[in-house]
Amino acid sequence: MPREFDPWSVVDVEDYGKLIEVFGIEPLTEDLLKELPFLNRYFARKIVFGHRDFQIIIKAIKNNEEYAVMSGIKPSGIFHLGSKMTAEQIIYLQKLSPKAKVFYAIADIEAWEDNGIPFEVSINYAIENVADLIALGIDLKRTYIYLQSREPHVMRYGYFFARGITYNLLEAIYGEKHLGMYMSAMVQVGDILLPQHPDFGGPKPTVVPVGADQDPHIRLTRDLAKKYARRHGFIPPAAVYHKLQWSLKGPGFKMSKRDPMGYITLKDPPSEVRRKLMNAYTGGRETAELQKKLGGEPEKCAIYQLAMYHIDDEAKVRRIYEECKQGLRLCGECKREVTELFIKWLIKHQEKREKNLSKAEEIIHEALSRG
Amino acid sequence: MPREFDPWSVVDVEDYGKLIEVFGIEPLTEDLLKELPFLNRYFARKIVFGHRDFQIIIKAIKNNEEYAVMSGIKPSGIFHLGSKMTAEQIIYLQKLSPKAKVFYAIADIEAWEDNGIPFEVSINYAIENVADLIALGIDLKRTYIYLQSREPHVMRYGYFFARGITYNLLEAIYGEKHLGMYMSAMVQVGDILLPQHPDFGGPKPTVVPVGADQDPHIRLTRDLAKKYARRHGFIPPAAVYHKLQWSLKGPGFKMSKRDPMGYITLKDPPSEVRRKLMNAYTGGRETAELQKKLGGEPEKCAIYQLAMYHIDDEAKVRRIYEECKQGLRLCGECKREVTELFIKWLIKHQEKREKNLSKAEEIIHEALSRG
């Protein structure tokens, strides 16, 4: 299939290419993907585009050896499409082997430092977030969920790794921030290395699924793992990088709570989601005439991106792409089709998340008792 | 008694006066001292020269109300004369009322950030330090001893108080330091406010005995207590300030581990202490003739300072001062007298600290189990 007809290559390819060239993220090659037992939507569609040291995970899977999948959520709101993507990545990486163990941080220290949300308030978001995580399919038997502010190992690691870190380095990575933000970054280094703490079984391969924007933090964590490798035996954590989904306003807009119309949470009422999607930016031409003549531009279309990122049915997504490109479908009908597909999924998900709220509450209350 | 004959006014009076004028430390007036049930050596001899809000403690004593005495030790070495001074201040402030409770922080996070001593190493110093504290007379029944790195409340407070603290402020207070040092400073804010945490009985008057050099940190802590007073009910902590004892090299030299001859630890063999003291800087004149004619200069004398800070017998210390001033004693005999007085105390102390090592070990092992 010629490159311009590849339905999985439409988002910001150039920008992500730069990350690979400049910062040394390695591309996810076909050869590497072939080694995986199966692919999820994000891997299959090149939304996951790069990695560092992912070989150590592939090797662990093959050898049936233990590895950790480490990620988390800042409990400052309800899961949105971006949190869903990270959660589904975690779940996929967990499903790849019965020996995978998930470590899931509720980043309540970050929610405090960044958003001023007190710990006793953020636990309410934490419960909602965990309910979504369960509804998306995490295997709780192989998952350790904790609150940063109640996990003494992680708080201690934050203090431990801070030794010798200069202001210049912090400013270069995170920009000019207040002390609490820098401290929160150190806690996140602790999060990522927690699976390798002796109390959690010691050094092991670890993979962190992250958005492409998180790479500077991954690099710092890997540097610190190397710095203390001799004393603590740390294996530098691997990472897989995914592209970011835009706001429903289209390319160039970041999804953000500050812009509710560009942003879908997994708790939004279906009627509201419908309204947002029907108002989303598309890759349509100025007139129906032109669209039929030139074809649409799915690479600029927030609706096509929603389909590509979130609709499982591959044949259907391919068809949408090709019909659009060939001028065979107009934006109105396309929006309706994608919207109804998404809402069908959403309604089912919302039933599941509702059912799992009490389980999530139980998990958070247990986490609260730890420190 | 004319001012120049006041044996308790000989150390750096001008410097400490500046602290009072510029930074708003209040002088410890006779009227205030009269309110105390009794004075210890440091209060009686004006070695404690100033305070902030000490009235809240005097009031608590009078009303038989609970108050906290908060202090600690960086476990990076054996107690020296300075640590002894702080410890004796804590013990005195505890003895002032049966309602006083001591919170004693083993600052192992600071020992890591500042000296690179790993937590698992600093506990060995911690045991030695606690043995000294017990030998000096702390009432363990009313004392909470903890390790910073094993006290989740304190680690969490560190992260909590860091929100909004700018680099400029940190640099102004602490100089240009690496991130870990700033984080350690935040943990110390947590230490000082720990007695007011709901899990420790909530807001209460607290007093922190500190060296005069610690005032910027006390001010920051008081500012943060005020910032969160509405939400957490904090009462800004009171402080009492003591003058610093010089190195045995004399005025202008700071006591420091890097200069072992200027520095006495409570574990030094008496023979070694004798050698250090016999080599100490004195306030003697160039010749015995001149000394008899002009009198000595106790205000410049490390031996006199040792006597004033550490020899309880007030009549004897006054006599040393007066005989020196009047040219009635020469440095050799004076050194011998003070040295033997101090060593007599030291030998007794070393017996006690030895006996209390296993108790101290028990306390630290309990502290280790907390987080």
Query: Is there a contact between A88 and A311 (Cβ–Cβ < 8 Å)?
Result: no
Chain B residues whose C-beta sits inside 8 Å of any chain A C-beta: 109, 112-113, 116, 118-119, 149-150, 152, 155-156, 158-160, 162-167, 170, 176, 178-180, 182-184, 186-187, 231, 371
Would the pLDDT of A205 be above 90? yes
Contact A179 B176 (CB under 8 A): no
Chain B: nearest CA to A220, how far in angstroms? 14
Residue A80 is given by DSSP the state: B
**Residue appearing with tokens 């004319």:** B2
Out of B112, B163, B166, whose CB is closest to A113?
Answer: B163
Please tell me the distance in Å from B40's CA to the nearest CA on chain A.
37
Subunit contact B371:A156, Cβ cutoff 8 A: yes
Note the pLDDT tens digit of each residue in A230-248. Answer: 999 999 999 999 998 999 9
Give the mutation candidate from A151, A163, A369 for the B interface (greatest B CB count, under 10 A).
A163
- Out of B152, B182, B187, the one facing A179 most closely (by C-beta) is B182
Task: Compute the mean pLDDT over every residue in chain B, rounded to the nearest whole number.
Answer: 93
Our CA-based measurement puts residue B165 at a distance from the nearest CA of chain A, in whole angstroms, of 5
Task: Assign B333 a pLDDT band (cuts: 50, 70, 90).
Answer: very high
- Identify each DSSP E strand in chain A by its residue range: 26-27, 48-52, 67-73, 100-106, 143-147, 206-211, 238-242
Question: Per-residue pLDDT averaged across A309-324, rounded?
Answer: 96
Contact B183 A158 (CB under 8 A): yes
C-alpha closest to that of A351 among A174, A136, A153: A136
Residue pair A247/A261 in contact (Cβ under 8 Å)? The answer is: no
pLDDT cut 90: percent of chain A above it? 87
Closest CA to A171 of A216, A123, A228: A216
Ramachandran angles phi, psi of B104, nearest 5°? -120, 110
Strand, helix or coil for residue A64: coil
pLDDT reported for residue B260: 87
Specify whether the CB–CB gap between B342 and B277 falls below 8 A.
yes
B180/A162 Cβ within 8 A: yes
Give the pLDDT of residue A91: 98
Mean pLDDT of A50-74: 97
* Range A168-194 average pLDDT: 96
- More confident site: B302 or B256: B302
pLDDT at A23: 76
Coil, helix or strand at residue A151: coil
3-state secondary structure of A242: strand
Mean pLDDT of A190-211: 97
- Among the ranges given (A13-27, B208-222, B225-239), the one the predictor scored with the smallest mean pLDDT: A13-27
- Integer distance in angstroms from the first to the last C-alpha of chain B? 56
Sheet holding A238-242, edge to edge: A26-27, A48-52, A238-242, A206-211, A67-73, A100-106, A143-147
Inter-CA distances, B105 with B133, B221, B367, Å: 12, 16, 10
> What's the rounded mean pLDDT across residues B213-231?
94
**What residue of B is the nearest CA neighbor of A161?**
B180
Report d(CA B329, CA B276) in Å as an integer: 21
- Cβ count within 10 A of residue A131: 26
Coil, strand or helix at B107: coil
| B218 in Cβ contact with B208 (< 8 Å) | yes
Shortest alpha-carbon distance between residue B163 and chain A (Å): 4
Task: Decide if B155 and A150 are in contact by the 8 Å CB cutoff.
Answer: no
Q: How confident is the model at residue B46 (pLDDT cuts 50, 70, 90)?
A: very high
Measured in angstroms, the CA of A276 and the nearest CA of chain B are apart by: 35
What pLDDT, on a 0 to 100 scale, did the predictor assign at position A12? 55
* Contact pairs from chain A to chain B, CB under 8 Å: 100
Residue type, A32: L
- Token code pair at residue B232: 């957490």
Q: State whether B165 and A155 contact (CB < 8 Å).
A: no
Backbone angles phi, psi at B296, to 5 degrees: -80, 180
Local structure of residue A75 (DSSP, 8 states): S
Q: Is the pLDDT of residue A15 over 80?
A: no
Could you identify the residue written with the tokens 């943060």? Answer: B224
What phi and psi, each to the nearest 5 degrees, are found at residue B283?
A: -95, 25
- What tokens does B89 get? 């201040």
Q: Which of A45-49, A112-116, B251-255 comes out lowest in average pLDDT?
A: B251-255
Out of B109, B156, B176, name the one closest to residue A149 (CB). B156
Q: How far is B355 from chain A (nearest CA, A)?
A: 32
On the question of pLDDT at B90 being above 90, the answer is yes
> pLDDT digits over B98-114, tens only?
999 999 999 999 999 99
**pLDDT for the residue numbered B12:** 55
Contact A158, B159 (CB under 8 A): yes
Contact between residue A149 and residue B156 where contact means Cβ atoms under 8 Å apart: yes
pLDDT at B13 over 50: no
Q: How confident is the model at residue B3 (pLDDT cuts 50, 70, 90)?
A: very low
Q: How far is A139 from chain B (nearest CA, A)?
A: 27
Section B205-218 average pLDDT:
92
State which of A1-15, A20-34, B224-238 shows the largest mean pLDDT: B224-238
Indicate if the pLDDT at residue B168 is higher than 70: yes
Q: Per the structure block, which two tokens stand in for B307?
A: 């006597």
Contact A159 B155 (CB under 8 A): yes
Chain A residues closer than 8 Å to B371 by CB = 152, 156, 371
State yes or no: pLDDT of A16 exceeds 90.
no
pLDDT band per the 50, 70, 90 thresholds, residue B23: confident
Nearest CA in chain B to A164: B178
Max avg pLDDT among A126-135, B165-174, B237-246: A126-135
Domains of chain B are 3-247 (3.40.50.620), 260-352 (1.10.240.10)
What pLDDT was estimated at residue B14?
55
In terms of Cα–Cα distance, which of A203, A81, A106, A195 is closest to A142?
A195
**CA–CA min distance B148, chain A (Å):** 9
Tell me how far apart the alpha carbons of residues B203 and B66 are, in angstroms, rounded to a whole number: 10
What the block records as the tokens of B221 is 């802590």
Task: Round to whole Å and give the CA distance between B237 and B260.
Answer: 35
Identify residue B171 by its one-letter amino acid code.
E
B159 vs A155, A160, A167: nearest CB: A155
Do A180 and B164 make contact, defined as CB atoms within 8 angstroms?
yes
Q: B60 near B189, Cβ under 8 Å?
A: no
The mean pLDDT value for B223-245 works out to: 96
DSSP assignment, residue B234? P
Q: How many helices (H) and strands (E) does chain B have?
A: 18, 7
Amino acid making up residue A274? R
pLDDT of residue B79: 96
Residue A124 has pLDDT above 70, yes or no: yes
How confident is residue A3, by pLDDT bands cut at 50, 70 and 90?
very low
Cβ contacts of A160 on chain B, cutoff 8 Å? 112, 119
Q: What one-letter code names the amino acid at A363?
A: I
Instruction: Answer whether A179 sits within 8 Å of B162, measured CB to CB.
Output: yes
CA atoms in the 13 A half-sphere facing the CB of A55: 5
